[in-house]
A and B are shown apart, each in its own frame.
Chain A
Amino acid sequence: MAGIEVTALHKRYPDGTVAVDHVDLSVRDGELFVMLGPSGCGKTTTLRAIAGLERQTTGDIRIGDTLVNDLPPAERDIAMVFQFYALYPHLRTRDNLAFPLRAEGLPRAEVRERVDEAARLMRLGPLLDRRPRRLSGGEQQRVALARALVRRPRAFLMDEPLTNLDAELRADMRTEIKHLQGELGTTMVYVTHDQVEAMSLGHRIAILNKGRVEQIGTPLEVYDRPASLFCAAFIGSPPMNLIEVEVADGKLRSKDGLVFTPPPGLPRDRRLVAGVRPEALEVTEPGAERSVPARLISAEWLGDEIIYVVDHGGRRDVRVRMPPTVRFAADAPVGLRHLGGTPAVYDVSTEELVA
């Protein structure tokens, strides 16, 4: 097992597209590290560079203490799981699992032992004699995971492994992957565009955008204090409300009367935006204490909660997360109230967190 260090990674394709602009990552030994970002943000390219499937234009990659820049994928001692599983179609499950071990030239008895172990771990017993074509998507993915396991690599690389599964199965596999990683304690780098997956799996999350790292932090850090407006909009469903504010009388005030406690160390001379999570706001009866007048535009009943879309006279409508018991009629006049706490504050021009 080993940590992974990526330093000043830059990847430019011959046709001129820059897939990765500048990425620094430090994945700790035994960590489940998630790279999250929209398509085209460079997360997969970064992963493929770590795997050795792409050669970076500049920058260094270290796995453990080894500089692996010039090593072919096979010599990096890593295993990768792909979005399309990439099980060899002409081989039965058993041989798919044994394949990387035979390629290494391990003795037959050990191959058998390791395959059985991985099959037990991923509960593949009844599937061992089937070909990939006869397996369901979930089963194929379990086989792909097992094929990564048998190698006992220093690190696992996962390239959107759950994207092709249906929602229910995806949740199950998520739990399974997390459990497995915890049990084996192997370093894992996991690429996804699904923020729920990232939040539920990762020890730490790196949010990438346009080939750069926007933020690295634990799921809670990333959720509570997104480092940029991009992260604020990307994490959370519905996303953070971004409300233009000004500093006046030691408070943050929006044009329409909402008042927030300012975080310490705010610069005064810049245009600011407060990032307020939907659950930090509350829809009240009109005229309630500390509330501003507003109007309900729509409501989304999700069963366990209601998302109210509220027009409070600001530039953008805000979204408010409420328990399902609190119900207001559509288009009714209501009040909007902040529940307290200090919001994250962003500079409009740099789009970065200022305090």
Chain B
Amino acid sequence: MAVSVDEAVGTRPARDRTPRARRFGGRGRAVLEVALLTVLAAVMLFPALWMIETSIKENRDVYAIPAKFFDFKVTMDHFKDVFVASGGGRSTLSDSFLNSVVVAGASTALATVLGVPAAWAYSRFAVKAKKDQLFFILSTRFMPPVVVVIPIFLMYRQVGLIDTKLGLILIYAAFNIPFTIWMMKGFVDEVPAEYEDAAMLDGYTRLQAFWRFTLPLLLPGIAATAVFALIFSWNEFVFAIFLTSSDSVRTAPPAIAGLIGGTTVDWGLVAAASVVFALPVLVFAYLVRRHLVAGVTLGAVRR
């Protein structure tokens, strides 16, 4: 039957018919659980809430003792400072945000363009030592990235990629390609190869069959995979701080970190920059949330 990835997510688990109270052993226990979860949520979310609050407080309220939770004047000045330099014109922070967009976007695109066809090939063809190859590809993600920072730094210095956006794009793509191949292979496996067979019998070449029939069915999977890759590139800090130095190349994470230090710290600006930085990935993740679940639970759902 025709299958799309959406179907793997769409089914809801059968409703548990046991009455609530009996499952949890009494109403009192249910109340306790909700209360504990609320406390836990408050603790977990507090830093994010505090960041948002700080970003809209005036400076004297930021430093007020005791801290002001509710009765402070709301201001958007910090957000203005994120984008506009004090003397007018664009701020260096806004430059670094732009750099982040370019680097994360380009590295994700590169990883997708290279990784999706590779995943397709691994899924469809009998490749010699396929399992070993796939394991080798995956093994590049076993080590923490930080252990290769020094070798990469030395290599980049030799080839002149230090302090370039291209350098960051390449290294992020290198980290994202194994991930893309593995995740996309799962999605390709789910699309019956018969579509391509049928298309080939109908007069298309193998590549045309892939392009015209399999690829459209893979789009949700590609979106989910790309968002994961995008989040990785967007958040990456270690390589960004080691491999870049100038304001014109630096991405947002090291730029925001750079605001802390010196004699005074403008916490309002730091918080506002952090909020601006966090928003895009949150929005993306929200847009493709259904497919993210599909990607995470891949293989767990049997048709």
Could you say which of A132-140, A269-277, A306-314 contacts chain B? A132-140
Of the candidates B127, B204, B217, the one whose C-beta lies within 8 Å of that of A89 is B217
- Asked if A53 contacts B202 (CB within 8 A), the reply is no
Judged by a CB distance under 8 angstroms, whether B128 is at the interface is yes
Name the distance in Å between B28's Cβ and chain A's nearest Cβ.
48
- Asked if A90 contacts B126 (CB within 8 A), the reply is no
**Contact A82 B204, CB 8 Å, known A13-B126, A14-B127, A14-B128:** no
Name the distance in Å between B121's Cβ and chain A's nearest Cβ.
12
Judged by a CB distance under 8 angstroms, whether A217 is at the interface is no
Question: Considering only CB atoms and an 8 Å cut-off, how many residues of chain A contact the other chain?
Answer: 33
Could you say which of A21-29, A72-80, A295-303 contacts chain B? A72-80
- Asked if B200 contacts A73 (CB within 8 A), the reply is yes
Judged by a CB distance under 8 angstroms, whether A342 is at the interface is no
Judged by a CB distance under 8 angstroms, whether B203 is at the interface is yes
Name the distance in Å between B139's Cβ and chain A's nearest Cβ.
20
Give bound CA distance, A140 to B130, whole Å.
34
**Contact A79 B1, CB 8 Å, known A13-B126, A14-B127, A14-B128:** no
Give bound CA distance, A48 to B197, whole Å.
9
**Contact A84 B194, CB 8 Å, known A14-B127, A90-B216, A133-B2:** yes
Of the candidates B4, B129, B195, B201, the one whose C-beta lies within 8 Å of that of A88 is B195
**Contact A73 B2, CB 8 Å, known A84-B192, A84-B194:** no
Interface residues of B in 103-143 (CB under 8 A from A): 126-130
8 tightest A-B CB contacts, nearest first: A86-B194, A74-B203, A89-B2, A86-B198, A103-B203, A82-B194, A100-B202, A13-B126
Residue of A nearest to B127 (CB): A14
Residue of B nearest to A136 (CB): B1
**Residues of chain A with a CB closer than 8 A to B217's CB:** 89
Judged by a CB distance under 8 angstroms, whether B38 is at the interface is no
Interface residues of A in 110-148 (CB under 8 A from B): 131-133, 137, 140
A-side interface mostly: loop
Judged by a CB distance under 8 angstroms, whether A249 is at the interface is no
Give bound CA distance, A132 to B194, whole Å.
14
**Tally of A-B Cβ pairs under 8 angstroms:** 73
Interface residues of A (CB under 8 A from B): 13-15, 17, 48, 51-53, 72-74, 78-80, 82-90, 99-100, 103-104, 131-133, 137, 140, 164
Residue of B nearest to A53 (CB): B197
**Contact A80 B128, CB 8 Å, known A90-B216, A100-B203:** no
Judged by a CB distance under 8 angstroms, whether B213 is at the interface is yes
Judged by a CB distance under 8 angstroms, whether B297 is at the interface is no
Of the candidates B127, B130, B201, B216, the one whose C-beta lies within 8 Å of that of A74 is B201
Residue of A nearest to B205 (CB): A72
- Asked if A15 contacts B202 (CB within 8 A), the reply is no
- Asked if A103 contacts B202 (CB within 8 A), the reply is yes
Residue of B nearest to A133 (CB): B2
